[in-house]
């Protein structure tokens, strides 16, 4: 019997480069439909699901509970797993992976262990077209979107390597998730239903693409939305985020308000601290005014150095002063001291060329 490719529901994402759609990212219903198309009994769908998501099988030929002849027939159907091309461990236990995809492209993934959690920072694109001035990924240009299997694969890879369940996933690696919404939403669904991670433990971070936050809200998910604001006004924002030019900060924040109204979830705002650029007390005050009455949380990220630009991380008293102003203005705030700096794995340091 010849193997027919997986034909999944309308929301399947089939990467242009692949000749057959990979199975990873498919639900138990989709997998069951596929095995039945192959002339196999329905229960083999559940088995296949278990081997892909819980046993980490990389080739259908290795599924020992399947009949020998059928295993041979379907041996070439891609599961959709990547290869670990490079792995580096920072002194704080953060592990950075360079993963090689089926077309040879490389993406970065970071595993961040803390006492109770294992968080994976996933990439959504190879490279990034947004070109934020302070971000290493943007300096390297853009190659392509990732398929849903390539996003789910990153989480399984970290889970297997740490031999520990992944508790949280942040879509904060290479790329702009809302330029690849279809694969990102498919991956969210699969991480939730197939890998078993709660939606509230998933965070999608975006620099803001017109209309996309509203569209995301209309999916009524319980995921956390993080928005990379980085400046309290349009003039300053445009200077460091060129893609913000056609999308005024007022419009971005209006969409964020809609997100809160539609989903009932608060929005988290990321704010990179660049010494002398956006870290002054008056910036904090302006930010507080903008966010007044908004169900939000501000996450300050002291700048992590990259080679191409000479921004500086503010001294800690400056960071504390910024925090204090926000607190006085009753804005919920935390400081994210990035993990993995020594492995070039911290926010904004991900690039594929630092081997």
User: Would you tell me which residues interact with ligand SAH (CB under 6 A)?
Assistant: 132, 134-135, 172, 176, 205-207, 228, 270, 272, 301, 303-304, 306, 347-348
Rg of the Cα trace of the chain? 21
CA-based nearest residue to 128, from 96, 176, 172, 171: 176
Q: How far is the CB of 203 from ligand SAH (least distance, A)?
A: 10
Known active-site residue 121: no
Nearer CB in complex with ligand SAH: 88/243: 243
Would you give the distance in Å from CA 215 to the centre of its chain?
Answer: 18
Q: How far is the CB of 6 from ligand SAH (least distance, A)?
A: 30
Known active-site residue 347: yes
* Residue whose C-beta lies closest to ligand SAH: 348
CA distance linking residue 212 with residue 59, whole number of Å: 36
Q: How far is the CB of 52 from ligand SAH (least distance, A)?
A: 27
Tokens of 348: 């904004």
Nearer CB in complex with ligand SAH: 207/291: 207
| All residues at 6 or more sequence positions from 39 whose CB lies less than 8 Å from its CB, including other chains | 1
**Helix/strand/coil (H/E/C) assignment for every residue in 102-161:** CCCCEEEEEEEECCCCEEEECCCEEECCCCCCCCHHHHCCEEEECCHHHHHHHHHHHHHH
Which of 108, 150, 255, 270 does the annotation list as catalytic? 108
Nearer CB in complex with ligand SAH: 48/249: 249
CA distance linking residue 324 with residue 60, whole number of Å: 56
CA distance linking residue 343 with residue 355, whole number of Å: 11
Nearer CB in complex with ligand SAH: 205/224: 205
Nearer CB in complex with ligand SAH: 291/306: 306
CA distance linking residue 228 with residue 319, whole number of Å: 18
| All residues at 6 or more sequence positions from 202 whose CB lies less than 8 Å from its CB, including other chains | 168, 169, 170, 171, 188, 191, 192, 223, 224
Nearer CB in complex with ligand SAH: 282/310: 310
Q: How far is the CB of 39 from ligand SAH (least distance, A)?
A: 44
Q: How far is the CB of 132 from ligand SAH (least distance, A)?
A: 6
Tokens of 303: 């700048």
Q: Are 294 and 260 in contact (CB under 8 A)?
A: yes
Q: How far is the CB of 308 from ligand SAH (least distance, A)?
A: 10
Q: Return the active site residues.
A: 108, 347
């Amino acid at each position: 019997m010849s193997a027919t490719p997986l034909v999944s529901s309308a929301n399947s994402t089939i990467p242009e480069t692949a000749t057959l759609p990979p199975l990873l990212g498919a639900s138990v219903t989709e997998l069951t439909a596929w095995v039945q198309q192959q002339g196999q009994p329905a229960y083999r769908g559940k088995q296949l699901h278990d081997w892909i998501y819980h046993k980490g099988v990389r080739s259908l030929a290795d599924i020992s509970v399947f009949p020998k002849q059928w295993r041979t027939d379907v041996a070439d159907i891609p599961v959709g797993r990547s290869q670990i091309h490079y792995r580096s461990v920072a002194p704080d236990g953060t592990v950075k992976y360079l993963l090689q995809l089926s077309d040879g492209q490389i993406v970065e993934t970071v595993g961040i262990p803390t006492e109770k959690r294992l968080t994976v920072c996933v990439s959504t694109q190879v490279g990034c077209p947004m070109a934020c001035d302070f971000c290493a990924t943007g300096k390297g240009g853009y190659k392509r979107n990732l398929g849903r299997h390539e996003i789910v694969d990153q989480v399984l890879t970290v889970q297997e390597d740490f031999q520990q369940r992944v508790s949280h996933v942040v879509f904060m690696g290479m790329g702009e998730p809302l330029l690849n919404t279809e694969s990102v939403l498919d991956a969210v669904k699969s991480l939730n239903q197939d890998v078993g991670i709660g939606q509230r433990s998933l965070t999608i971070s975006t620099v803001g693409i017109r209309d996309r936050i509203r569209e995301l809200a209309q999916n009524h998910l319980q995921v956390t939305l993080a928005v990379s604001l980085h400046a309290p006004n349009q003039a300053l924002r445009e200077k460091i985020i060129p893609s913000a030019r056609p999308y005024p900060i007022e419009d971005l924040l209006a969409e964020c308000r809609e997100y809160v109204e539609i989903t009932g979830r608060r929005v988290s705002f990321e704010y990179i601290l660049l010494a002398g650029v956006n870290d002054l007390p008056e910036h904090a005050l302006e930010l507080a005014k903008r966010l007044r009455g908004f169900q939000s949380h501000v996450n300050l990220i002291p700048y992590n150095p990259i080679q191409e630009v000479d921004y500086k991380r503010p001294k800690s008293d400056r960071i504390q002063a910024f925090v204090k102003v926000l607190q006085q203005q009753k804005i919920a705030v935390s400081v994210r001291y990035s993990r993995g700096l020594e492995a070039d794995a911290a926010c904004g340091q991900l690039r594929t060329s630092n081997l």
